[in-house]
Structure 1
């Protein structure tokens, strides 16, 4: 690991100013992803700005929803009474992520910003446009079993790894930001980017911006919800495909729905057309299969991940069935 400077501000303004002094510096909180990247030489920030002393560790009611600070631990969110009552889908997703030890260190802000686990990104001996723009994408013709089937480009086919983010995009959350130009709100659906010609850019954060927290609006999705994560082992593994499903039912009729997938694109993949197709229809397997077929339009596989073309719609159907049956 390269040498680096370390600072620990106690105020948000000071943290932002510290980053403004060095564009290559990095904020650090739990460090569960960043330290791994530094040890492997994938990221070599000359300065770490420890933000753990900032007042961003609360879960509280907001005017029209729930506000969760960027420094709240993943385990705390998953176990919080307000979260479990108002947004049980979020609690389920966080409980499915990583291991108990990592959930006790990882923060909400860090979870949003974690980097892809593409093996070519992590291996500095291999080409990766995300790590070194212009070097090529090793996964295109390489081992791409875990990679994208939506939204990719010829520059990058990596997928976003966060379980929490899949739920936040489904629930129309907003990210609260502060930077040199002041504070702003950003729709969670606009936080992450597709790779296009600039796969090195994971997000639409502006230079020097710090995540303060996330706000989730109140919704009717408090009963019939399910987060289904398909992975190669039962725990401590990233999703091959995951689905966040939420239904609002009137008897057996679907009044409203939310659907998003993980493990299939460079960002959490919202299934808006499939959501709309569910409204007004009975909560049956036939209805769910029609929605899944619609959700898969435009999907394309590579040499080693063609299985996702079958796994993804089957996971959507099962997640919806589980959500409809839950209470």
Structure 2
């Protein structure tokens, strides 16, 4: 690990000023950043500790939703009464990720900003456009079993690793941020980026901005939902494919459908026009299969991960069937 300076901020304004310094990064739980610093994938020259800022509350909003403070711990969020009862999809997704020890340290804001787990990103002896722009993507011709099949580019096929973010995408959360130019709200669909020709940029958060909260709308789809995570082992493994599915049903007719995929793209993957195929339709396997086909339209494998295309289709159908039956599994 390279040497760095360290300061602790007590409020948002001070934190924004501190992180504006060259080479500065925020640190809260540190569950991802410290690992990357130890292997020299990231080497900030200045760390700004934000754990003393009062951004850890979880409360209702005037609009009937809830506001998750950016520094609320993942475990506290998953087990919070408001989340468990009104947004169980989010609770299940969080509990499907990492270990209890990591969830006790990791923050909600940090979860949004965790870096990819692509093997080549972590291996500093191999080219990686995400780690070193312009050096090339070793994964495209390399071992790519865990990597993306949707939204890829010739520069990067990495996947976003978060479970929490898949649920937040399905729930259509918004991210509240503050920077030198003031506060703004970013729809979750616009927070993370696809790789394009700038794969080193994971999100649309500006360098001087800090996440202050994540806000969820009033409808938490608390009755018909599921979070399905398919992985190589039952614990502490990143998703090969995950599905956050949420339905609003009237009898067996779908009034609204939300689907988000994890483990398949550079960001949680949603296709609203495919979801719309279910609106007003019967909640049947045949209709779910049509949606699954539409969701994977344009998917491309890179050899080792070709199987993900069919796996994702089957996962969507299974998740929608579970949501219809009021089953909720992680």
What range describes the TM-score normalised by the shorter chain of this pair?
A: over 0.9
Structure 1's consecutive aligned runs of 4 or more residues displaced over 3 angstroms after TM superposition are none
Q: Deviations over 1:38-93 (max 9, x none)?
A: 00100000011010000100000112211000000111111011011221100010
Map of 2:196 onto structure 1: 196
Alignment of 1:145-164 (within 5 A): 145-164=145-164
Q: Quick one: distance in 1 between partners of 2:179 and 2:37?
A: 25
Deviations 1:103-138 (A, max 9, x none): 111100000000000000000000000000111000
Map 1:106-185; keep pairs closer than 5 Å: 106-185=106-185
Unaligned runs of 5+ in 1: none
Secondary structure, counterpart of 1:136 in structure 2:
coil
Paired residues in the alignment total 326
Structure 2 CA distance, aligned partners of 1:302 and 1:48? 37
Match of 1:56 in 2: 55
1:216 aligns with 2:216: yes
Cα shift at 1:220: 5.6
CA contact (8 A) 2:249 2:255 kept: yes
State the distance in 1 between where 2:50 and 2:189 align. 25
C-alpha contact 2:87 2:220 (8 A) present in aligned 1: no
C-alpha distance in 2, partners of 1:39/1:273?
43
What's the TM-score, normalizing by structure 2? 0.97
Task: Return the offset for 1:274.
Answer: 2.1
Q: Tell whether the 8 Å contact from 1:220 to 1:248 is kept in structure 2 after alignment.
A: no
The normalised TM-score by structure 1 is 0.98
CA offset at residue 21 of structure 1?
Answer: 2.4
Residue number in structure 1 paired with 2:96: 96
User: Residue in 2 aligned with 1:295?
Assistant: 295
Partners of 1:57 and 1:262 in 2: CA distance: 26
Q: Which residue of 2 aligns with 1:307?
A: 307
CA deviation vs aligned residue, 1:248-289 (integer Å, no higher than 9, x gap)? 111111111100100011011012122101111111111111
